[in-house]
Copies of this chain bind each other. A is one copy, B any other.
Amino acid sequence: MFVYADNAATTPVSDAVFNAMLPWLHDRYGNPSAIYSVGREAKAAVEDARVKVASLIGARPEEIVFTAGGSESDNYALKGTAYAGRKKGRHIISTKIEHHAMLHTLEWLEKQGFEVTLLDVDSDGLVSPDDVKRAVSDNTILISVMAANNEIGTIEPIAEIGEIAAAHKIPFHTDAVQAYGHIPLNVREMNLSTLSLSAHKLRGPKGIGALYIKNGTHIDTFLHGGGQERGRRGGTENVAGIVGLGEAAYQCSLHMAEDAKRVTALRDRLIAGILPIPYSRLTGHPTRRLPGNASFCIEGIEGEAIVLTLDSLGVMASSGSACSSGSLDPSHVLMAIGLPHVVAHGSVRLSLGPQNTDAEVDYLISAVHKTAEDLRAKSPVWENNAPMWAKFE
């Protein structure tokens, strides 16, 4: 059996999206900036997509700028807001569990003279609004907290943090790449200035995303060029990609609520099926989590080995272990929620989407059990049905 269970990494493009994109990849190749007919029809398609992307989060169409994906949106929001706000102050508040598109951009900004406070999270991965409040100073020009975490699925209290930002009149950004199209978001209710999203997380194509920019927000351009996107983002528009994102957003506007319900049920059954493995635990918040995210640590075995073993069983999954990230430490998210290294090394994430089935969940459960048994049988740290460090605990 083949089961794709890495929907938090990227999702299969849905048939609706694929079919919507096709004409724009071939026959309808006009440049939307051109004033002649084949240009105008491309422009109309882009504007139609903009309406769809905006309406899913209660934004106005002109508040949506198309980008090449979540990473560009994050870079744009952070660098654009920081540089635009440079005269007011240099302090930025974010969290320890952001995606690398955020963290590496913040590091770069630190090199340019900005000061960055990265807030801790609790053991469920939650950011505390009180911590945000305490971190605010006169010098703060940006608060950025992700809407939901990509590794452990925890959904952050964005509305509460948005109130704090609004009270202090500080621009508020959220990386909603994991959340957009999966859980309800409203840019006005959440007092957001900017919001990043990426099509390939909601069954759209890779390489296209958007940044919501609230009307009136001061923000520097990130990608300079022609007059596209009303001068806010240069580059010939990726029309097929934009149409695909629009269709993906539209499909979410139709099906998000029912999908979330169904996927949550699948996820909960998956979690319930895996936790009986001894020395396994769920990571992230038990209930405030993304519908599709089921992430675990399984002690005595290593994450990359788990992923490769699952692969040999036809299951596509991922891990935040050190090895699988190519670095020496387990992921910063697993560290931030306070897991010991030896536990974090056994990380595995199964992420589901609306296309996953009940039978697939059954198979996932048995595949993970089998993987844990196989790897533990080969593991020198697994002795007498426990990890060797258990005796020290």
Question: Contact mask A57-101 → B, CB, 8 Å, 1/0?
Answer: 000000000011111101100000000000000000000000111
Whole-angstrom CA separation of A235 from B238 in the bound complex: 16
A72-B68, A108-B221, A206-B237 in contact; A101/B226 too (CB < 8 A)? yes
Bound: A29/B200 CA distance, A: 9
Q: Are A223 and B71 in contact (CB under 8 A)?
A: yes
Q: What chain B residues lie within 8 Å of A325 (beta carbons)? A: 227
CB pair A239–B26 under 8 Å, yes or no, is no
**Nearest CB on B from A82, distance (A):** 13
Q: How far is the CA of A225 from the CA of B73 in the complex (A)?
A: 11
Residue from B38, B220, B234, B238 within 8 A of A207 (CB atoms): B238
Docked complex Cα distance between A290 and B318 (Å): 48
A9 adjacent to chain B (CB < 8 Å): yes
A247 at the interface (CB under 8 A from B): no
Q: Are B207 and A316 in contact (CB under 8 A)?
A: no
Tell me whether A237 and B68 are in contact (CB under 8 A).
Answer: no
In the complex the two chains form, what is the Cα distance from A10 to B18 in whole Å? 22
Q: What residues of chain B lie closer than 8 Å to A224, measured between beta carbons?
A: 71, 75, 100-101, 104-105, 107-108
Q: State in angstroms the CA–CA spacing of A325 and B228 once bound together.
A: 11
CA gap between A175 and B355 in the complex, in Å: 43
Q: Which residue of B lies closest to A27 (CB)?
A: B12
Q: How far is the CA of A205 from the CA of B237 in the complex (A)?
A: 10
Q: With an 8 A cutoff between CB atoms, is A4 at the interface?
A: yes
Stretch at the interface among A158-166, A181-189, A307-315, A380-388: A307-315
**What residues on B are CB-neighbors of A35 within 8 Å?**
304, 307-308, 311, 324
Listed in ascending order, the chain A residues whose CB lies under 8 Å from chain B are 4, 6, 9-13, 18, 21, 25-26, 29-31, 33-39, 67-72, 74-75, 99-101, 104-105, 107-108, 198, 200, 205-208, 220-221, 223-227, 234-241, 304, 307-308, 310-311, 316-318, 324-326
7 tightest A-B CB contacts, nearest first: A207-B238, A68-B68, A71-B225, A71-B235, A104-B224, A36-B311, A101-B225
